[in-house]
Amino acid sequence: MSSKKESESFWKEKLSNEAFHVLREKGTERPFTGKYNLHFEKGSYTCAACNSPLFTDNQKFDSGCGWPSFDDAIKDSIEYILDKSHGILRTEVVCSNCGGHLGHLFNDGPTETGQRFCVNSLSIDFKEKEE
Q: Tell me which amino acid residue 11 is.
A: W
Question: Which of 47, 50, 98, 118 is an active site residue?
Answer: 118
Tell me which residue of 77, 38, 40 sits closest to 57, measured CA to CA: 40
Q: Please confirm, yes or no, whether 118 is among the known catalytic residues.
A: yes
The rounded distance, in Å, linking the Cα atoms of 100 and 123 is 8
3-state secondary structure of 88: coil
Indicate left, alpha or beta for 72 from its phi (over 0: left) and psi (-120 to 50: alpha). beta
* Total number of residues shown for the chain: 131
Q: Which are the catalytic amino acids? A: 118
